[in-house]
């Protein structure tokens, strides 16, 4: 599906799904198979409030990686990019100016890249992995650039991925008429977790590749706990291969180790909020993980735990934001509405957590 969108010349393709469902892997496999020139802009490690320098360095790195992989096009690309303001070539690598007066003109940069692709009879693919991490004033500037690419760069497809799905939609201007990308249709690949059968099949096949035959009760135990998230299934499988055995203990080991990781990730996601707010978020998550799953149950639990009644509007807000971050899912069954923690490991970690 992803490759077809690119072959069809779609200007903007979005890959969404909660963490560790294989978004980055999917994109890398597609890029590899399609054999189009591509730029992979990596937003990992961007601070909560990225600067121009942070972003420009990552775009320059993406071009440098590309040149590294395609030495034979250095001269031709140089020819197209040389006159772009703020771009400087040093041998086979490029550097970008980010200072206010001489900053690289990104619109011009991508226009030139697009023309280069056109003249070579190919398509350029620009990937922004976890695009929602580009925040604040930079996001405003960058989406204008994306809107320009969307409208004018006919030989370019932009792929953006995001695990904080609602936040990514916000970045893309979904539902915001003031946004530069508003009303521009995008094609979407939504990654879902594996169902039980797929998870089992995945484990059996994986183990067989290593000449191991897993006991069926262990596979069921693993699938129950790791709940269709490919990244965790892989982690479990890899551990078993490493240790040369397959048993329940390894599932528990993965759960415990991964718990620390996901809790650290949550802390990072909430890091920009004041302490009081962080505690409320964690308390809400803990409530849901512990089985207090409806709106009023969550409110009761959190008010009790924090020793003060949680205002309704605050709870609304928190649930809304947790949904946007894809940390929780909302289940609607007839008139009943309840919430659950999206990631089974996070659920496990929260249950075991004692304080906020
Ligand atoms: N189809 C697949 N088959 C086997 N392993 C896979 C598959 N997809 C992903 N994986 C493995 O699962 C793990 C998570 O995948 P990946 O990093 O691509 O997910 P992601 O959705 O980008 O996660 P994140 O939200 O952390 O960026 C990786 O170790 C990857 O190698
Ligand atoms: Mg990823």
Domain boundary among 239, 264, 289: 264
pLDDT in tens, 265-275: 998 889 889 99
Degrees, nearest 5: CA angle 281-284-290:
140
Q: Is the CB of 20 under 6 A from ligand 1?
A: yes
Domain of residue 171 covers 2-190
Q: Is the CB of 112 under 6 A from ligand 1?
A: no
32-58 average pLDDT score: 93
Which of 16, 20, 23 to mutate to test ligand 1, by most ligand atoms within 8 A of the CB atom? 20
Answer yes or no: do 297 and 314 share one domain: yes
Q: Is the CB of 25 under 6 A from ligand 1?
A: yes
Domain boundary among 168, 190, 212: 190
Specify the residue for token string 């397959």.
246
pLDDT in tens, 69-94: 999 999 999 999 998 999 999 988 99
Q: Is the CB of 198 under 6 A from ligand 1?
A: no
DSSP string covering 250-289: HHHHHHHHHHHHHHHHHHHHHTTS-HHHHHHHHHHHHHHH
156-166 average pLDDT score: 96
Answer yes or no: do 78 and 165 share one domain: yes
Answer yes or no: do 96 and 121 share one domain: yes
Q: Is the CB of 133 under 6 A from ligand 1?
A: no
Share of the chain above pLDDT 70, in %: 99
What token pair was written down for 220? 């069921």
Quickly count: other Cβ atoms within 10 Å of residue 322's Cβ: 22
Q: Is the CB of 28 under 6 A from ligand 1?
A: no
Answer yes or no: do 169 and 217 share one domain: no
| Residue 48 pLDDT | 82
Domain boundary among 264, 292, 317: 264
CATH value at residue 285: 1.10.10.10
Q: Is the CB of 170 under 6 A from ligand 1?
A: no
Answer yes or no: do 45 and 138 share one domain: yes
| Residue 356 pLDDT | 65
Query: Which residue is closest in CA terms to ligand 1's atom 10?
Result: 22
CA-nearest of 166, 127, 133 to 268 is 133
Answer yes or no: do 133 and 100 share one domain: yes
Among the bound ligands, name the one nearest to the CA of residue 189: 1
| Residue 271 pLDDT | 87
Answer yes or no: do 148 and 16 share one domain: yes
Ligand 1 atom showing the smallest separation from residue 130 Cα: 27
Q: Is the CB of 193 under 6 A from ligand 1?
A: no
Distance 84 CA to ligand 2 centre (A): 31
Which of 24, 160, 209 to mutate to test ligand 1, by most ligand atoms within 8 A of the CB atom? 24
Q: Is the CB of 162 under 6 A from ligand 1?
A: no
pLDDT in tens, 193-234: 999 999 999 999 999 999 999 999 999 999 999 989 999 999
At 318, the pLDDT band (50, 70, 90 cuts) reads very high
Answer yes or no: do 283 and 254 share one domain: no
Answer yes or no: do 33 and 86 share one domain: yes
Answer yes or no: do 30 and 62 share one domain: yes
Rounded to whole angstroms, the Cα distance separating 318 from 330 reads: 13
CATH value at residue 53: 3.40.50.300
The answer to whether 159 touches 127, Cβ cutoff 8 Å, is yes
| Residue 23 pLDDT | 97
Answer yes or no: do 260 and 277 share one domain: no
At 47, the pLDDT band (50, 70, 90 cuts) reads confident
pTM: 0.91
Q: Is the CB of 231 under 6 A from ligand 1?
A: yes
What is the phi/psi pair of residue 215, to 5°? Answer: -65, 140
CATH value at residue 248: 1.10.8.60
User: Could you give the number of structural domains in the chain?
Assistant: 3
Answer yes or no: do 50 and 159 share one domain: yes
Share of the chain above pLDDT 90, in %: 90
| Residue 238 pLDDT | 97
pLDDT in tens, 262-316: 999 998 889 889 999 999 999 999 999 999 999 999 999 999 999 999 999 999 9
What is the phi/psi pair of residue 342, to 5°? Answer: -70, -45
Above 80 in pLDDT, residue 27?
yes
Residues with CB under 5 A from ligand 2 (ion): 23-24
Rounded to whole angstroms, the Cα distance separating 257 from 164 reads: 23
| Residue 120 pLDDT | 96
What token pair was written down for 290? 């512990």
Query: Which residue is closest in CA terms to ligand 1's atom 28?
Result: 231
């Amino acid at each position: 599906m992803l490759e077809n969108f690119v072959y069809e010349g779609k200007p903007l393709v979005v890959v969404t799904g909660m963490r560790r469902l294989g978004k980055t892997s999917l994109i890398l496999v597609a890029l590899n198979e399609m054999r189009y020139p591509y730029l992979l802009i990596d937003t990992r490690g961007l601070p909560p409030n990225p600067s121009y320098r942070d972003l420009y360095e990552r775009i320059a790195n993406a071009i440098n990686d590309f040149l590294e992989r395609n030495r034979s096009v250095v001269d031709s690309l140089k020819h197209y990019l040389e006159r772009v303001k703020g771009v400087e070539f040093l041998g086979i690598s490029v550097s970008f100016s980010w200072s206010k007066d001489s900053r690289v003109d990104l619109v011009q940069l991508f226009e030139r890249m697009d023309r280069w692709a056109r003249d070579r009879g190919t398509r350029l693919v620009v990937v922004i992995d976890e695009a929602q991490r580009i925040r604040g004033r930079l996001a405003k500037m960058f989406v204008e650039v994306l809107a320009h690419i969307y409208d004018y760069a006919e030989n370019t497809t932009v792929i953006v991925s995001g695990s904080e799905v609602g936040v990514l939609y916000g970045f893309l201007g979904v539902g915001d008429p003031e946004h530069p990308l508003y009303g521009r249709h995008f094609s979407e690949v939504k990654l879902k977790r594996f169902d039980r059968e797929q998870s089992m099949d995945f484990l059996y096949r994986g183990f067989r590749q290593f000449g191991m035959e897993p006991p069926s009760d262990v596979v069921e135990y693993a699938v129950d706990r790791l709940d269709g998230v490919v990244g965790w299934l892989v982690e479990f499988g890899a551990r078993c291969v490493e240790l040369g055995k397959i048993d329940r203990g390894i599932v528990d080991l993965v759960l415990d180790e991964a718990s620390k990781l996901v809790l650290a990730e949550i802390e990072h996601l909430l890091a920009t909020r004041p302490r009081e707010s962080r505690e409320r978020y964690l308390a809400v998550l803990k409530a849901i993980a512990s089985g207090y799953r409806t709106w009023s149950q969550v409110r009761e639990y959190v008010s009790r735990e924090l020793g003060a009644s949680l205002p309704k509007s605050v709870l609304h807000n928190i649930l809304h934001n947790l949904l946007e971050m894809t940390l929780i899912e909302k289940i609607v069954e007839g008139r009943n509405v309840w919430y659950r923690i999206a990631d089974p490991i996070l659920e496990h970690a929260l249950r075991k957590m004692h304080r906020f």
